[in-house]
Amino acid sequence: MAKSVALTPVPNLSNINSSRWILRQDPQSYTLQLVTYSSRDRAESLVNRQADPEEFAIYHVIRDQRLLYVVIYGVFSSAGTAQRVADQLPGELGSVAAWVRQLDLVQDTVRSTATTDVLAQSDRG
């Protein structure tokens, strides 16, 4: 007879957008790159502490053979609008030096990391 195992519930992280969401955005729009962490848990924790987690996204990159998690905020029609928001970030985000980035550059990074992931997986197989 099979023994039942108690599973720890996973927190609902559905409000955090992912790389797929980033790729669906208008590439001519802008976003704010806020922080980069070596831990996905830290990135998710930051986003989950915000009043509007659905406005954030997390994607990963590989730098110097390290997996890093980048947190971005918002989609803005112009660099000026993004900069005005960056200058007024509330709470713990107010101390972050937000970087205004055009989404096409972020999307290129997401795509190149996805390609790297596929190549790395095929090397293992």
Q: What percent of the chain has pLDDT over 90?
A: 70
Give the model's pLDDT for residue 114: 75
Domain boundaries defined on the chain? 19-124
pLDDT band at 116 (very low <50, low <70, confident <90, very high): low
Tokens of 41: 């848990």
CATH number corresponding to 19-124: 3.30.70.1070
Averaged pLDDT score across all residues of the chain: 84
Give the model's pLDDT for residue 125: 40
Give the model's pLDDT for residue 115: 61
d(CA 26, CA 85): 19
d(CA 60, CA 37): 9
